[in-house]
Each structure stands twice: as structure tokens, then as C-alpha cells.
Structure 1
Amino acid sequence: MKKLIIHGGRRLKGEVTIGGAKNSTVALIPASILADTPVKFDSVPQILDVNNLQIILQSMNVTSEFAHGELSIDPTQIEEAELPSTAIKSLRASYYFMGSLLGRFHRATVTFPGGDNIGPRPIDQHVKGFVALGAEVEYDEDTVRISAPNGLHGTRIFLDMVSVGATINIILAAVRAEGQTILENAAKEPEIIDLATFLNNMGAKIRGAGTDTIRIDGVDKLEAHNTHTIIPDRIEAGTYLAMAAAQGDGVLVKNVIPEHLDAYIAKMEEAGVSLQINEDSIFVPRTDTLKPIKIKTAPFPGFATDLQQPITPMLTKASGESIIQETIYPERTRHIPELRKFGMDIESLTHGLIAIRPSSDFHGSTVAAAEIRAGASLMIAALMADGITTVKNADHILRGYDRLVWKVTNLNGDIQIIEED
């Protein structure tokens, strides 16, 4: 594992360009094995999750090359193989290989995925969709085995709860099924639209992505003819917006789709951040005082659960108590005791409620990142604090943030990565 060493207290200024969306990338790479031709992506973020997904591809004789934000994948010689459990357990999105392998081979054997520990995230809705399409599912200790000996057949599926993962996995399985699949109560995230765009450009017939009803007419083949450009990462963008409001002297955040951040932007402006919103960029002026606000996380287009942690340190600058209600993952509070080590007055109340009170004179500390977004909040706090901070388990942060050290350094931050002893 790596750790970040951050010398805090420096004002941030300049501009930062947001990379491709992590949550799109980790679905698009598994989707690539459905293609009958090589595929190419650009605006691919340089993150550890991409490296781990390449390891999984290699285990199936799928070659890939990644350099300068461009990723080429050739699945034409794909072979069924046992997927490497270490790579599978390193990121939760590895479960998208369930849907893509089921769509390609009508069977899949996948170790239960890993990823961030942010509370229960069951795969029952994924399994429900696979079974409805005609698959049989068996569990063997920490492995799930899925097979459809009679093939996959389109049907109507209603998700019991809105789930991004289940929506994506069912699309991946249904895109090469026989007949039409109608997926209701589907998630609406921009990353789902990005996936559907990629598949449709290869010949898939997916309608309604971005709404709660998605129709998928199965096709026999998928062929890539153009490079797919991944959408900007709205979570990375939101993280830098909060960082700039908390410790900036004027920061321009580039390569942003503001519409993907409507709920987040509304809350930042309600808190008193005078954002200057352009077509594909947002300027954050120096912000010295803020107003307290109340935030309730919700599925898209609501306030993203992945942004409640990065915005938390910023809210310590408010003139009164701010409240965050985490409704998606109520146990996503592991950043709070770590933030308190900086001197921040933050408290976890009843189930999923977080109180952030006015505080200042933060000091560097030694903290540990429990997961990606918790780590991002610790990094922002460290930049706000006087003195030196060590953020342990920094690999968690590097899983989700493109060229993090280079970008923060270019904003005048003093940050470096070193290997832990």
C-alpha cells in the first residue's frame, strides 16, 4: 500500500482538467468483451481500477494496451477462463463481468467482488435479472456460478430498488439475448447512458437509457467502428469543486458537464459558493465564509452519495451546523473519526445522519483512507490543515482519481506518494 504525504495550508489556484468517468470506465471495459471486433476508448482515467481490469482481461486471453488516456482492447481471441480472484476482489465493478460473460458465453463463474467497504451492497437484483432472462444461479462459498444452457431470452424485469450495478449488468446480459428485454425502475445515471451509447454505436438496440424504463432488443453481433470517448467524471469534478471552495484562491475546473452536477451545484451555491458556470467548465472563486446547509443523498439526479464525503471538510467553514443525511449507504461514515483528528467538529448522529459544525485552526495528522471517497475527504482536509498529514492506505484514493498527485501539485498543493513501510 502507498501513503500520501501532504504539507497543508497552501492556497490552491490555477486550473485542473477532469478525466474520464471512473464509473463509466469500469463498466465499459467489461462491456468490451461483448464485441466481435477490437474496441478503442479515449479519455480513460489513469487509475488503479483500470490496471486491475486489464489483469482480468488478460486472464481471458483478451489483449489490451493503455497509454496517454487511450485504451485498446482486442476480445477477438477471448477464451473462457477462471478469473483472477485477487483482481476481482480489488474492485466491486468486477461484477460486471457476470453480465458480459453471460451475454457472450451464456455462462459465468465469478468470485464475489470486493471494492470499498461502505456497508451492505447485495447483488440480489443482479441475480433476479439474470434468472428472469433464463439463467440458473448457484453459489459455492465465495463464488457465484451462472449459466443459461438454453440461452437468454428477453423478458420484462422490474427492479425492487434502483440499482446502478444491476441496471448495467442486466443491459450487458440482455444486449445479445433473443428478443426484447424491458427493464423497469432502472437507474438513470449518466454512466448508464455512456454505456448504452457505446453499445448502440456497435449495433446494439437500447432505448430509454437515462430514464426509468430501458428497452433492449437483442442482437447477434456487435462491431466497433469508432473510438468511444468516455464522459467526464462528475465525482472527480465535484471533489475538485469542494477542494477549490475549501482552500482555493481561484480554480478553474475544466472538462465538466454541469448538468451532471445539478444537485451538487445547487447545494454549493446554497452554501454561498459563487460558482461561475460555463459550457464545459466551472470557475470557483476564493470562498472565505459559507452558510450552513442540509444535504440528503439520493439516486441520480439527486445529490450523489459519492460526493457527501468530499464536501464535508468544506462545510466546516460554514457559520452554523450543516447536516448530511446519507440515504444510500447509511454506514458510509468511516471518514468522520479520521476528520476529527484534524480538529474538525464533525459527528455521526443517528443512522446515516452527519453533523458538521463550524471549526478552524486545523492541524496535520496521521489518518487512514477506508475507501475512495473517504480518502478524498481526508486529502481535502489535509490541504486545509497546517502542518504535515500522512494519509495511509492511499491506494484506495488512487483507485478513483486520475493522476491525483500531478493535478493537485499543478494547483500549488504540496503532495507526494511514497510506499508504506
Structure 2
Amino acid sequence: MQKLVIDGGRPLSGEIKVQGAKNAVLPVLAACTLCSREVRLSNCPCISDRYGAARILTSLGGKVRADGTDMTVDCTGIDSSSISSELMRTMRSSIIFMGALMGRTGKCTLCYPGGCDLGPRPIDMHLSAMKKMGAVITDEHGIIECSAPEGLTGCKISLSFPSVGATENILLAAVTAKGETVISNCAREPEITCLADFLIACGAHINGAGGSRITVEGVERLSAPRESFAIIPDRIAAATYLSCCACAGGELMLTDCCPAHMEAILPLFEQMGMYVRSFGSNIYIQKTGGLKAADTIRTMVYPGFPTDAQAIIMAPLCTAEGTTVFVENIFENRYRHTGALSRMGADIRAEGKVAVVTGVPALYGAASEAPDLRGGAAIVCAALGASGRSEITRTELIDRGYDSIEAILSSAGAKISRII
């Protein structure tokens, strides 16, 4: 069993290049299923979920080659529309292969997806949209079979909630459907725009991505981008390294990031008393004194504060002067990291959607296990600023979204190692 061992109390200093976005590369890899030519991608993070998506593509008959953060995907030989339960359960985002396979083959067989246990994350909006576009769907014993003998047909779809996954699935199905598809109340995240940009580069006709209404005019087939398509920077990974600096102290320069995607996050570090400056694709952060509590933090859909950053931002606020209130509006089970932080000495009271964090003078190293991807990252952040040694197990959950987190932090002066 692997674990991360962290000796806290060492200020950070240096430059960190922000990885490509986990939540952007996975739908783009699924979209490659629709392409009639070989696709080249760059800035793909070396994370376990990327490898999971590659295994799905390979199981369908595709060919995937990787050289560091560069990938080449050839789906011209896809000869299957069925994804095994084992592969589906490796990650939540595997569900977006539904739309891609329906667009490519007109049918698919899969099961309910896996991923981190964050509470109920139903896929009813995904299934309802496919049905509206003409798919016939059966769901027996957890196995979902979809088919569209006459092909999918564009229609008007209004989402009851701006779900990222549902928006992605509809986009993937709509780009080769007959006629026009209009998606209302759709997700506006940068990762949606990245997927739309990729599909447009492949020949899709999409308007409105990044807004609350997207229009798609179906085409017969997609080709591939003429040049290598670059995955956008990971705004949650960037927030994580900023939080590491807030916990451990020191200063960091983040490069190859997109400050515009983090407008709901960066002001919180300033509220804490951190010195933060962004310019171009860089963010500079410095801890100049003690931390202060922040205003009430409510997770919301983009452009609001992201639920994926909730645990990460909570870590430094555990030692901030004053009290910060968190309200989690997206997932029901997203305070699982609070137990580990409390064992380190944090004063956190969580009930239902609300967590109240009262700052303490210091945290202390402890043995913990990562409860989920972002909760594990939050424990890493806290451990960097804690007194003594921390050991974190279930590192495979952290590896789902972070490219060699121990190497990145070590390069900035942290004393962190992975024990295999």
C-alpha cells in the first residue's frame, strides 16, 4: 500500500507549472471516439483517470499512444460499443462515453459509473436527453443498453440543473445527430468550452459554449484538428498549489495557468491575507503574515465557487484567525475530509450542507487516509503546514487528479515522499 509521508513546517519557494485539466482531458478523449482521423493532443496530465480513459478507448478498438503529456488517439478502427463494468467503475466521467458512442455507433452498453463517493450523482438527465434525441434505453440490473436504430435526432433540451456531465454527453451525441439541438440551462464551465473548441476543430457546428444556451447543428461525421489540440490548464490543481503555499508559507509562482478561470477562487486567498498577483498565464502568491478567516463560502456552479475547491480552501482556513462558514450546495457527502483535519487539531463542526471552521493556532501531523480525490489533496495541503510528520494512505485517489504531486511539491521545497 502506497502512502505519502510529509514533514510539515517548511515554507515553499519556487515555480510550479500547472498541469492540464483533468476535467477537460477526459471528455476530449471520449470525443476522439467520433473522429475519422488520428487525433493529437498536448498538455494531457499524467493522472490515473487519463489512463482509465485510454483503457476504455483501447477496449473499444481504438489505439492510444502517449509520450509524457502528449497523446495520439486513433479511433478509426473502433469495432465495439460496449464498455465493461470494470472499466466503467474506475471513474465517474466514464459516463460521457455514452454520448460519444451513441454519436459514433448509434448504440452502447455500459453500467453506472464509479469515482469518488460524494453522495448521489444520478444520471437521469443524461438518459432523459438521449431518449429525447430518439434513443431507446433499457436499464436492467445496473446494465444500461442504448440504441437508436434510426439515428439520433436533434431537439430542444432544457436541463433542470446545469450539469457538466449531462451537457458534455448531449454535446457529444448532438454533433453528429440529424438537425439542430438546443441545450438550455447548460453548464458554463471552462471545461465545456474546451470540449466545444475541440469538437469545432474537428468540424462540428457549435455556438454558445460558455453561456447558458448552446446550439449544435449536426454534421455527418467529424475529422480531427489540423494541429495538436492543447488541453486547458487545471484550475483546481492551481488552487491546490496556492493553498499549499497558504498552509506552509513562503512564495510560489504558478505558470501555464488561466487566472480568468479562477475569479471565484483568487479573492479568497486575498481575504486570508495572502499577497496574490496574476499576470498573463502566471499567478504569484506570497504569505506575508498570519491568515484571516474568509467570508461565507458557498459552492455553486460556474462561474461561482467550485465544489472541487471546497476542501482545498478549507485546509488553510483551519489555522486562520476567526471563523469561516462553508455551505456545500452541489454534493451531499463532501465533508469527509473534515475528520482527518480534525485529527490534526482543526476545529470543524459539520452538519448537513454547512461546515463551520474556527481557526486554531497550529495543526499537528497525523496518520490519515484520503477520503476522495480533493479531500486527499486538502490533507496534503494541511500536512505541509502542520508540525511534525503526516502519513496519507489511499494515494490512488489523489493520483486520479494530480500529476506526481509529491515531485511537484518537492521541487518547491516541501519534504514529501511517496513510500511504495
TM-score with structure 1 setting the length: 0.97
Give the deviation of 1:81 after TM superposition.
4.8
- Which of 338, 345, 350 lines up with 1:343 in the alignment? 345
Q: How many residues align?
A: 418
Q: Which position in structure 1 is the counterpart of 2:9?
A: 9
Unaligned runs of 5+ in 1: none
Give the deviation of 1:243 after TM superposition.
1.1
Give the distance between the partners of 1:177 and 1:376, measured in 2 at CA. Answer: 40
Give the deviation of 1:411 after TM superposition.
0.9
**8 Å contact 2:321–2:360 — kept in the other structure?**
no
Q: Which position in structure 2 is the counterpart of 1:365?
A: 366
Q: How does 1:166-177 map to 2 (within 5 A)?
A: 166-177=166-177
Give the distance between the partners of 1:287 and 1:396, measured in 2 at CA. Answer: 32
Q: Which position in structure 2 is the counterpart of 1:395?
A: 396
Q: Which position in structure 2 is the counterpart of 1:251?
A: 252
Q: Which position in structure 2 is the counterpart of 1:186?
A: 186
Residues 246-255 or 99-108, more deviating: 246-255
Give the distance between the partners of 2:131 and 2:34, measured in 1 at CA. Answer: 20
Q: Which position in structure 2 is the counterpart of 1:281?
A: 282
Give the deviation of 1:273 after TM superposition.
1.8
Give the distance between the partners of 2:106 and 2:382, measured in 1 at CA. Answer: 47
Give the deviation of 1:386 after TM superposition.
1.8
Over residues 236-263 of structure 1, what are the superposed CA-to-partner deviations in whole Å (9 max), with x where a residue is unaligned?
A: 0111111112213111111111110001
Give the distance between the partners of 2:334 and 2:185, measured in 1 at CA. Answer: 24
Over residues 284-341 of structure 1, what are the superposed CA-to-partner deviations in whole Å (9 max), with x where a residue is unaligned?
A: 1124322222101100000000001001111123210111111111321100011111
**8 Å contact 1:101–1:107 — kept in the other structure?**
yes
Give the distance between the partners of 2:67 and 2:88, measured in 1 at CA. Answer: 23
Q: How does 1:72-151 map to 2 (within 5 A)?
A: 72-151=72-151
Identity %: 36
Give the distance between the partners of 2:17 and 2:141, measured in 1 at CA. Answer: 44
- Which of 309, 312, 315 lines up with 1:313 in the alignment? 315
Give the distance between the partners of 1:101 and 1:81, measured in 2 at CA. Answer: 6
Q: Which position in structure 1 is the counterpart of 2:336?
A: 334
Q: Which position in structure 2 is the counterpart of 1:262?
A: 263
**8 Å contact 1:3–1:395 — kept in the other structure?**
no
Q: What is the RMSD of the two structures over their aligned residues, measured on CA atoms?
A: 1.1
What SS does the corresponding residue of 1:263 show, helix, strand or coil? coil
Give the distance between the partners of 1:403 and 1:366, measured in 2 at CA. Answer: 20
Give the deviation of 1:360 after TM superposition.
2.7
User: Is the aligned partner of 1:49 residue 2:70?
Assistant: no
Give the deviation of 1:85 after TM superposition.
2.2
For 2:41, give the aligned amino acid. Answer: F
Give the distance between the partners of 2:332 and 2:143, measured in 1 at CA. Answer: 27
Q: Which position in structure 2 is the counterpart of 1:415?
A: 416
Q: Which position in structure 1 is the counterpart of 2:241?
A: 240
**8 Å contact 1:288–1:317 — kept in the other structure?**
no
Over residues 65-118 of structure 1, what are the superposed CA-to-partner deviations in whole Å (9 max), with x where a residue is unaligned?
A: 111210100001111153232221010001111010000011111121000101
Q: Which position in structure 2 is the counterpart of 1:301?
A: 303
What SS does the corresponding residue of 1:399 show, helix, strand or coil? coil
TM-score with structure 2 setting the length: 0.97
Give the distance between the partners of 2:320 and 2:383, measured in 1 at CA. Answer: 18
For 1:116, give the aligned amino acid. Answer: C
Over residues 195-231 of structure 1, what are the superposed CA-to-partner deviations in whole Å (9 max), with x where a residue is unaligned?
A: 0000001100010000010000000121112210000
Q: Which position in structure 1 is the counterpart of 2:206?
A: 206
For 2:236, give the aligned amino acid. Answer: I
Residues 219-228 or 113-122, more deviating: 219-228
For 1:208, give the aligned amino acid. Answer: G
